[in-house]
Amino acid sequence: MLLAIFAATVTYTAGLSPPGGFWPDTRDGHRAGDPVLQDRHWHRFTAFFVCNSTAFVASLLVIALLLTNKPEKSFVKGVVLYACILLALLGLVVAYAAGSCRETDSTAYVTCLVGVVLAYTLLQELVWIKLQRRLQPHVHKIQNDQHGQSTTSTTGHKQASDEHGLKTARSLVLLLATLAATVTYQAGLNPPGGLWPDSREGHKGGDPVLLAKNAIRYRVFFYCNSTALAASLVVIFMVQNNYLSTSLIHQRHSLEAVMILDLISLIGAYAAGSCRDVTTSIFVVALAGAALVYVVFHMVFFTLDLQVQDLHKKDTQVENKRKQLLVVAILVATLTYQAGLTPPGGFWSGDNAELGYHAGDPVLFNNYPRRYMAFFYLNAASFMASVVLTILLVNPNLYRMGIRCHALSVCMVAGLFGLMGAYPAGSSRHLRTSIYMIALVAAVFVFIVILLLIIIFPKIITLLKKAETENNKGRGSDKIEPQTERRYLMLLGILAASVTYQAALSPPGGFWPDKRDGHDVGNPILRDSNIRRYHIFFYSNSTSFAASIVVMALLLLEQLQRTRSGYKDRPKLIRAMHTAIIIDLIGLLGAYAAGSSREWETCGYVFALVAVVLLYIAIHLSISLFHQEVMALRTNGIRTSVLALIFAMRLARRRRPNGEPLI
């Protein structure tokens, strides 16, 4: 599932933003917004597009197969599933080799790197096995010295608890470190303010614009961003190395300490890089303080009637809710961090005293100041709320009380509201389109309210439960575990929301770099060159984004329902989440087909890929079912023959009263 989600995410982003960029204007036989690689290296672009689309479609089908309720059947776990995964991996490798370079020698070198890395991995594993054998006795000695004074029963219970806590801390910290390393790496290579496009006026092409315009602000951003990147890499190394993430380090809360350092560095880098004046930076940091103050007041006033031991008591449902909140908060924080440093519309590449803008300033701020301010503050509020929530979820004494009084859930809902408000403000330049997006978001909440009304009536719930019980008779172990199903849905919803959010703020085709031929700077090029295709992409992408938000909201709602009712079977809200995921995947497919190409024939090719893979699955399923029927008939035939033989032998042994045999 993780591999399929990763492949779908990177191929979706690469399909909408192909290597080589887009033409900024219409001349010399090409149109503005068309891929540059398609005109200069047609064969290379075709190889990239075909392989990238194949990997995208195959990964979507893997996700759909894994979400079925019969994971044990060969239909899912057999040849079909592994063939789709292998196809997605091969598509990724070939697409990377075709799109990352422009020469045949470089392409061959990149392809050969796969074998070199595989050989290095095997060699490293052999060396590590030998080192592990030498170091293992010393590690056991240290652990025995540490736990030697405890009794056997107490030590066993405490060690099991420490191992469970260590496992949870490692998984969640690794998620934060991986995503933080990703966004800080990208922010370091593409800093806020952009890069100089040429060498003139005392600067060099490719140097950061912000360094020349505001050196102090750039250095604050650079060092904070670099600190977050270094902390993330250190955490990843510690978690991957079992000797550096032992229970001793867990007891000293070393991983959590590095995690908090990472988050504080992200706050500093965001405040320095997302704006250009000190007052706005202070206000951005104050948003984090406001979120923290609200959570504290909420916990103080809504826990007056509760006992202290009840607030801090360890509970499985509270721990599961903590995991869900932490995953959502981490993903929202990393998403809004990237969007805040590189706002939609890009940056000015030069100064213009007449129009009143400077190089490195956001284009959207000068052309649409109200729209930019709405996007900026909503995105900043979402980022700060997510970071504060992540910090609070590190301390058990705080998050257990905050989850029980729903203070952290309110903070997370505020972050999602900010995300949904920043999306229509930054993804379009027209009021009508923003109204459509707000209406779509409102439809999401109407859908949730309708589900709440359905849940209120117990008769409907009883009927649905009875129907599901009758429908699931005889399935036994073929059902996916509810907790595993929730994790899959949470991952799909969050990652789909992240890629669609980024795709809307940086649409395929790029933005106009100047005011010519009746268009405005910072507006999407695809909207002016092919408005029908842009609308298909925009509304399909927006539908997928809204469906992803629905999934995350329903997961939080479903967790609240399970906490109150104690119903541990497969909840009815899971059905609604599956419906939203299907809408999500269809929207992704439509947006990818519309945004990754400029010809309708190529879009048809993408959908034809889906049909071909589905046909392959149907053929394989038919053959598998036919083989099962044949084997069943053979088994039944052999069983019938054996029973007939046994019956005949019994008759042969029986005799009449006069001693004669019956047959």
Q: What is the pLDDT of residues 370-396, one digit of tens each?
A: 888 888 999 999 999 988 888 888 777
- DSSP string over 278-323: HHHHHHHHHHHHHHHHHHHHHHHHSSTTS-HHHHS---HHHHHHHH
pLDDT at 208 over 50: yes
What does the mean pLDDT of the chain come to?
71
Predicted pLDDT of residue 573: 63
Averaged pLDDT, 610-630:
62
Task: Give me the helix-helix angle, 531-565 and 431-456, nearest 10°.
Answer: 30
Residue 127 region, left (φ>0) first, then alpha (ψ -120 to 50), else beta? alpha
In 3D space, the residue among 404, 389, 388 whose CA is nearest the CA of residue 560 turns out to be: 404
Least confident of 143-152, 201-210, 589-598: 143-152
Contacts (Cβ under 8 Å, ≥6 apart) of 629? none
pLDDT at 71 over 50: no
Report the C-alpha gap between 597 and 195 in whole angstroms: 27
Look-up of token digits 């079909």: 80
CB 645 within 8 Å of CB 96:
no
Report the C-alpha gap between 341 and 347 in whole angstroms: 11
Q: What is the pLDDT of residues 338-360, one digit of tens each?
A: 888 888 877 877 777 776 777 77
CB 400 within 8 Å of CB 314:
yes
CA distances from 605 to 86, 187, 610 (A): 21, 35, 9
Which range of 168-172, 232-236, 501-505, 654-658 scores highest in mean pLDDT? It is: 232-236
In 3D space, the residue among 551, 548, 342, 527 whose CA is nearest the CA of residue 432 turns out to be: 527
Of residues 211 and 551, more confidence is placed in 211
Averaged pLDDT, 157-185:
67
- Is this prediction's pTM over 0.85? no
Single-letter residue type at 165: G
pLDDT at 117 over 70: no
Report the C-alpha gap between 621 and 627 in whole angstroms: 10
CB 368 within 8 Å of CB 268:
no
Report the C-alpha gap between 599 and 594 in whole angstroms: 9
Report the C-alpha gap between 135 and 169 in whole angstroms: 24
Counting Cα atoms < 13 Å in the Cβ hemisphere of 101 gives 12
Report the C-alpha gap between 647 and 207 in whole angstroms: 91
CB 385 within 8 Å of CB 284:
no
Of residues 523 and 212, more confidence is placed in 212
